[in-house]
Amino acid sequence: MVVDQATGPIDTNVNRGRRRPQAPEEYLICSSQKIRNDSFTSFDTLGLVIILGVGALMIIVSYTLEYIIHRIQIRRNFGTYERLEWITNETLQMKRLAHEEAG
């Protein structure tokens, strides 16, 4: 729509109400109009890279931290009961048990 206004309408009947700029100020206003072009798109590459980088870092830290803590607990024989309870009371495990009881 913006390009139609800047290049002029296709219908010639609409052009009757238009006039050329008379004063230099009017000409400056007409010549300073910007036209949006649909051929190009602008987006913030740095923002996109930061969001993807931070997201990937969070995923990597999550998996790595879980693995490291699990290995430390096994090696030191610490929290064996808590670890087994965590595995047993996991959401999918609880759903499986509920469905087995339902028959």
User: Do 96 and 52 share a structural domain?
Assistant: yes
Residue 102 CA to chain centroid, in angstroms? Answer: 42
pLDDT at 97: 81
Looking at per-residue pLDDT, the higher value among 24 and 30 belongs to 24
Share of the chain above pLDDT 90, in %: 17
Residue type, 40: F
Which range marks the domain in which residue 21 is found?
A: 2-31
| Residue 37 belongs to a domain | no
User: Do 95 and 55 share a structural domain?
Assistant: yes
CA dist 40 to 5, 37, 44, 83, Å? 19, 6, 13, 54
pLDDT at 1: 44
User: Do 26 and 61 share a structural domain?
Assistant: no
Q: pTM value?
A: 0.42
Length of the chain: 103
What would the pLDDT profile of 57-91 be if each residue is shown by its tens digit? 999 999 999 889 888 888 888 877 887 887 777 88
User: Do 87 and 57 share a structural domain?
Assistant: yes
CA dist 93 to 69, 70, 73, 79, Å? 22, 19, 22, 20
Whether the pLDDT of residue 10 is over 80: the answer is no
User: Do 97 and 55 share a structural domain?
Assistant: yes
| Residue 39 belongs to a domain | no
The two tokens of residue 62 are 């999550």
Say how far apart CA 46 and CA 51 lie, in whole Å: 9
Q: What is the mean pLDDT of residues 44-67?
A: 93
Structural domain tally of the chain?
A: 2
pLDDT at 7: 64
